A and B are shown apart, each in its own frame.
Chain A
Amino acid sequence: EIVMTQSPATLSVSPGEGATLSCRASQSVSSNLAWYQQKPGQAPRLLIYGASTRATGIPARFSGSGSGTEFTLTISSLQSEDFAVYYCQQYNNWPRTFGQGTKLEIK
């Protein structure tokens, strides 16, 4: 099983600033990586797939990069609605696995 490790566990950032979230795979997943956003009491929402392709309706301030074992989700100019928990998920190997999440909180 591929283990996905996200860092940091919690990130405190002020609105208007940028944020960089990391996700590391225990072995290569090529570009088969997705990012999700989850707000309290809500289902996750797909943000990025293919490591860097934004899902339908996702603002351009969200961008993904990386391949192999190292991935990054960057959010430029944080809006109030961006404070949430973010998960990465690999779909290169079975079973599909998620990271443990990064909580993005208001500083």
Chain B
Amino acid sequence: QLQLQESGPGLVKPSETLSLTCTVSGGSVRSSGYYWGWIRQPPGKGLEWTGSIYYSGSTYYNPSLKSRVTISVDTSKNQFSLKLNSVTAADTAVYYCARQFVVAYFDYWGQGTLVTVSS
């Protein structure tokens, strides 16, 4: 059974960089046809796709965040990561990692991790 687990600091200071890692188990990030994405959800609000990556390194980013976001993949560790720089309170959210079928819909999700931006 495929499982995804987010990890990283739960508190980030304004203007600093948010860094999260998603570890995939029960499957491989090198699976053909599957991208790996990050989706965030501010407290009490809806879902926002931030970006996705293929094991080859091909990426898609949400234009609303494109200048601040970087997603990378480490196939040797079966992980992919999110970096969001120059964060503000508006970046406070639960961040989910998920498997994305052919850059389309998300069929497996991690449990999510709350990241709070505060001094």
Contact = CB atoms under 8 A, between A and B. Distances in A.
Interface of A: 1, 32, 34, 36, 42-46, 49, 55, 87, 89, 91, 94-101
Nearest to A94: B60
B5 to A, nearest CB: 11
Main secondary structure on A side of the interface with B: loop
Contacts of A49: 101, 104-105, 107
B47 A46 contact: no
A78 B49 CA distance: 29
Interface residues of B, number: 20
Interface-centre pick from A32, A55, A95, A100 (highest chain B CB count, 10 A): A95
B10 interface: no
Nearest to B51: A95
Contacts of A55: 107
A3 to B, nearest CB: 12
Nearest to B106: A46
Contacts of A101: 46-47
A87 B49 CA distance: 13
A43 B104 contact: no
B105 A100 contact: no
B96 interface: yes
Nearest to A97: B49
Nearest to A55: B107
B33 interface: no
Contact of A44 (B60, B103, B104, B109): B109
